[in-house]
C-alpha cells in the first residue's frame, strides 16, 4: 500500500510540509443508555507529512445531551488521538487513511472518566488554491466498550 | 406497503472503475435485503428493493452518480485514487436516505457513506469488485453506525454491463446481527 501512495505522490515534495486545520460536523457518541445520538462536533488537527506518509495529532470535542426518564444526561467528550497514515491520489485531490491511539476524557453529571481506545479515520482533501484545502472526513473511535462515529467538513492550511 | 420494500438500499452496484469524461451510464438494479429495515428485523423476512441509477464522468478519474430507489434517493462522487497493476482503488463518499415519510420514520432517514472500493481486472470482460463501507445513518433522532463489506462480479462490454453481488453490514443498533443484500444490476454506457 505504501508503494501505491509513494508512486502516486512522487512528484509532490510539498507534502513533506505541515498542515493545520479545523473541522465541524456531527458525532454519534455512545451513551450509557446505549444510544448513538447526533450532536455537533468540533475538531482541530496538525499533521506533518513525510512524503506519502504522515503523522498527526487530532483533538475533538462533542457535547452530548441524552434525555432519560427524569432529566437529561449531559456529557462532554474531549478526544485526543495520535495517528499515522498514508495519502495519495491520481489528481491533486487526495485520499487519506489514518489509524492510531485515542484517549477520550468524558465529563458530566459530576463524573469524569478517561477512556483509552483506537481511532480510524478516512478523509478526502480537495485543494483550494496553493496553500489551503477542504477536508471531508469520517472517523470511528473506540471508547470503553462502545464506539463513537463522526463525520465532518473542515478547512486546512499548509505551510 | 413501503415497509415490505426497502425504504433505502444497502446494495452496492458500482466498482472502482470511474467513467471516462462525459461518458454516461444508465442502469437498473434489483435486490433482496435482509434485516434492512424495522419490518425485516422484526419478522426476519427479507425485503425487496429496486432502483435506477445514472452516472456521468466529470473529470479524469472522477464521476458522479445518483440512484433513485423505492422510498428515496442517493448521490455520490467516486474518485479513483490509485491504479496499481490490474487493481483500481476508489473512494465514493455520498449522501442519501429515505425521502418519503412513513409512520415508522416520519422524518425519513439520512445516510452519510464513505465507501472504499477495489476492482480487479480478471479478464477483458470480467471484473471482481470488493468494498468496505463505513456508514452513518440518522434515524429517529439517533445516529446508527454501520460497517459493511461487499463482493461482486461484473461482466462488461463496450456499451453494456451486468453484475451480481452481495453486501453484509453490521448494525450495532440491532444487536450486531448483520444486514445482508443479494442483488443484480445491469445497464448501458455511452462511448
Question: To 5 degrees, how large is the angle CA A88–CA A94–CA A99?
Answer: 70
DSSP single-letter state for residue B100: S
Asked if residue B144 is part of any domain, the answer here is yes
- In angstroms, the separation between the Cα of residue A94 and the nearest Cα of chain B is 7
Asked if residue B191 is part of any domain, the answer here is no
Asked if residue B147 is part of any domain, the answer here is yes
Residue B107 confidence (pLDDT): 66
How many domains are contained in chain B?
1
- Which residues lie below 8 Å from residue B179, measured CB to CB, with a gap of 6+? B10, B33, B34, B35, B36, B146, B167, B168, B169, B171
Are A89 and B81 a contacting pair at CB < 8 A? yes
Residue A10 confidence (pLDDT): 44
- Please report which confidence band the pLDDT of residue B2 belongs to, taking 50, 70 and 90 as the band edges: very low
- In angstroms, the separation between the Cα of residue B88 and the nearest Cα of chain A is 11
What would the mean pLDDT of B27-34 be, rounded to a whole number? 93
Asked if residue B63 is part of any domain, the answer here is yes
Asked if residue B133 is part of any domain, the answer here is yes
The interface predicted TM-score (ipTM) is: 0.77
Asked if residue B100 is part of any domain, the answer here is yes
Q: Domain containing B145: what range?
A: 2-186
User: Are the CB atoms for B47 and B41 separated by under 8 Å?
Assistant: no
Work out the percent of chain B whose per-residue pLDDT is above 70: 87
At A2-45, the pLDDT tens digits run: 444 444 444 466 678 889 999 999 887 776 655 667 788 999 99
- Which residues lie below 8 Å from residue B41, measured CB to CB, with a gap of 6+? B35, B174
A-contacting residues of B 113-132, CB under 8 Å? 114, 116
What would the mean pLDDT of B163-171 be, rounded to a whole number? 90
Asked if residue B86 is part of any domain, the answer here is yes
Residue B35 confidence (pLDDT): 79
Question: Which cell is B134 given?
Answer: 463505513
Residue A67 confidence (pLDDT): 73
Domains within chain A, CATH numbers bracketed = 2-84+96-158 (2.40.160.20)
Asked if residue B142 is part of any domain, the answer here is yes
- In angstroms, the separation between the Cα of residue A56 and the nearest Cα of chain B is 21
Minimal Cβ distance to B143: which of A91, A136, A149? A149
The CATH number of whichever domain residue B125 belongs to comes to 2.40.160
Residue B132 has pLDDT above 80, yes or no: yes
Work out the percent of chain B whose per-residue pLDDT is above 90: 60
- Please report which confidence band the pLDDT of residue B144 belongs to, taking 50, 70 and 90 as the band edges: confident
Residue A82 confidence (pLDDT): 98
At B88-122, the pLDDT tens digits run: 999 999 999 887 766 666 667 888 898 999 999 99
List chain A residues with pLDDT less than 70.
1-14, 31-36
Minimal Cβ distance to B145: which of A7, A36, A93? A36
Interface test with B, best of A36, A86, A88 (most B CBs within 10 A): A36
At B48-94, the pLDDT tens digits run: 899 999 999 999 999 999 999 988 899 999 999 999 999 999 999 99
Distances (CA, A) of A52 to A7, A19, A125, B49, B117: 9, 14, 13, 41, 20
Residue B121 confidence (pLDDT): 97
pTM: predicted TM-score of the whole model, two decimal places: 0.85
What is the rounded CA–CA span in Å between residue B150 and residue B133? Answer: 8
Amino acid at each position: 500500500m505504501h508503494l501505491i501512495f509513494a508512486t502516486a505522490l512522487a512528484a509532490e515534495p510539498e507534502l513533506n510540509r505541515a498542515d493545520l486545520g479545523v473541522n465541524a460536523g456531527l458525532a454519534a457518541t455512545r451513551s450509557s443508555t446505549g444510544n448513538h445520538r447526533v450532536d455537533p462536533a468540533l475538531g482541530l488537527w496538525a499533521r506533518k507529512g513525510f512524503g506519502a506518509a504522515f503523522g498527526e495529532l487530532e483533538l475533538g470535542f462533542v457535547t452530548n445531551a441524552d434525555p432519560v426518564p427524569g432529566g437529561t444526561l449531559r456529557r462532554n467528550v474531549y478526544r485526543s488521538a495520535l495517528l499515522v497514515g498514508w495519502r495519495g491520489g491520481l489528481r491533486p485531490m487526495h485520499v487519506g487513511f489514518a489509524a492510531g491511539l485515542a484517549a477520550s476524557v468524558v465529563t458530566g453529571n459530576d463524573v469524569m472518566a478517561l477512556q483509552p481506545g483506537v481511532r480510524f479515520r478516512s478523509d478526502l482533501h480537495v485543494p483550494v488554491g496553493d496553500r489551503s484545502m477542504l477536508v471531508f472526513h469520517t472517523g470511528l473511535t473506540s471508547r470503553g466498550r462502545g464506539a463513537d462515529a463522526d463525520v465532518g467538513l473542515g478547512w486546512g492550511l499548509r505551510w | 406497503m413501503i415497509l415490505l420494500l426497502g425504504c433505502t438500499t444497502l446494495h452496492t452496484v458500482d466498482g472502482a472503475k470511474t467513467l471516462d469524461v462525459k461518458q454516461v451510464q444508465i442502469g437498473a438494479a434489483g435486490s433482496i435485503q435482509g434485516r434492512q429495515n424495522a419490518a425485516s428485523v422484526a419478522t426476519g423476512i427479507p425485503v425487496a428493493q429496486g432502483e435506477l441509477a445514472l452516472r456521468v464522468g466529470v473529470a479524469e478519474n472522477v464521476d458522479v452518480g445518483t440512484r433513485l430507489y423505492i422510498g428515496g434517493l442517493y448521490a455520490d462522487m467516486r474518485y479513483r485514487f490509485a491504479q496499481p497493476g490490474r487493481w483500481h482503488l476508489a473512494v465514493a463518499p455520498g449522501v442519501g436516505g429515505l425521502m418519503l415519510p412513513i409512520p415508522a420514520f416520519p422524518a425519513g432517514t439520512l445516510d452519510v457513506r464513505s465507501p472504499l472500493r477495489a476492482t480487479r481486472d480478471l479478464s477483458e470482460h470480467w471484473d471482481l469488485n470488493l468494498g468496505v463501507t463505513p456508514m452513518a445513518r440518522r434515524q429517529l433522532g439517533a445516529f446508527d453506525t454501520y460497517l459493511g463489506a461487499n463482493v461482486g462480479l461484473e461482466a462488461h462490454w463496450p456499451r453494456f454491463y451486468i453484475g451480481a453481488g452481495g453486501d453484509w453490514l453490521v448494525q450495532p443498533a440491532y444487536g450486531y446481527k448483520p444486514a445482508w443484500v443479494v442483488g443484480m444490476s445491469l445497464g448501458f454506457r455511452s462511448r
